[in-house]
Amino acid sequence: MVFKLIYYKSTKYFLYFAKMKRIIIYISAIVVLAAIIIIILVVFFNNRNPLDVDVSDINLDVEIERFDLDLMEVNSLWENVEHLHDKYAAFFEVYNNEIISIGGIENSSYLTYLNTFLNDYSVVEANREVSKTFSDCSILNDELTEGFKHLLYYYPDEEIPRIVSFIAGFNHSVVLIDGFIGIGFDKYLGKECQLYDMLGIPQYAKDEMVPEQIPVDVFTAWAQDRYLYKPETDNLLSNMLYKGKILYFLDAMFPDFNQTRKLKYTEEQLAFCYKFERDIWTNIIENKLLFETDYFTIRKFVEKAPNTYHFGPDSPPRIANWIGLQIVRSYIENNSITLTELMKENDYQKILNLSQYNPKYK
């Protein structure tokens, strides 16, 4: 009887402890799973692009109006000219007077001047190439639509301009006029376009004259027009941070675009920037270039070129602009700054100081 009682109690305690052990295992598993979920969420939100905003509820469709095609249908008929004037209004006037510089329609010789322009060999060839390259603008329309949806997200009261295409004898890429943005299609015919060879355009410039760059150039022009360069001191720091702000603005308008597209870099050029970021920044500081005010010196760091002269033939062009973008990103990350507040800020020394920018050696 005693044996049975002891056996019963032992069995009871054994089952009790076994049950408790299972409960502890379950609780431990739940705690571990919760910790894993928390870590995943932290990593996700830390790596999440804050500019990747939801614009799906913004109702907008942007479509390029083919002014270039309409212009080719004039056929020396005055009624067709009047139709263009009615349809394109202010843009038509600016196109005549400032883009191709033949004067307004009030001039009795207007049709003669227009036909001379349209029958010029380079214009005829440009029209032919444009017809082939831009026979279908659906992808371009979709990308511009996405860009302008993001613009409305940050600027909800903004009026979206009409987008028109034109040919101007390779003189203009993007033109902003009240209510219009004009795109010179003949400046985006592709880096293999033979017309560019005939014009003697260097390869580094041709590399950027591709249809894919149109959305980037349109929004660069919009930002530069809205936020003029007004530094307290015109030096390299101000230039590179102003350009950095424009690049950050492009990040906001096109969060899904590859960085190389927005920077107009190859993958190799972008890799160079990341690899030598600390060296580039140290070099600028040690050589006292940050506050350089000489125009020609500044241009070598921030403008279009085959490379950034100061950093050798293997370096990408406009390398100071990329550094400016990194400083701007650091400024945003370390301060509660909105996109519009950033774009309005013209105190570039303040941006640098508050950015806490300090790149590490790779």
pLDDT in tens, 213-225: 999 999 999 999 9
- Residue 44: per-residue pLDDT: 40
pLDDT in tens, 143-174: 999 999 999 999 999 999 999 999 998 989 99
Q: How far apart are CA 73 and CA 356, in angstroms?
A: 58
Q: How far is CA 37 from CA 23, 40, 46, 323, 348, in A?
A: 21, 5, 14, 35, 41
pLDDT in tens, 304-329: 999 999 999 999 999 999 999 999 99
pLDDT in tens, 232-248: 999 999 999 999 999 99
For residues 121-133, give the mean pLDDT. Answer: 95
Q: How far apart are CA 286 and CA 289, in angstroms?
A: 8
Nearest to 265 by CA among 328, 226, 308: 308
Nearest to 240 by CA among 326, 164, 154, 147: 326
Amino acid code (one letter) for 265: Y
Q: How far apart are CA 255 and CA 50, in angstroms?
A: 9
pLDDT in tens, 10-53: 555 445 555 655 666 656 556 445 444 444 433 344 455 789 99
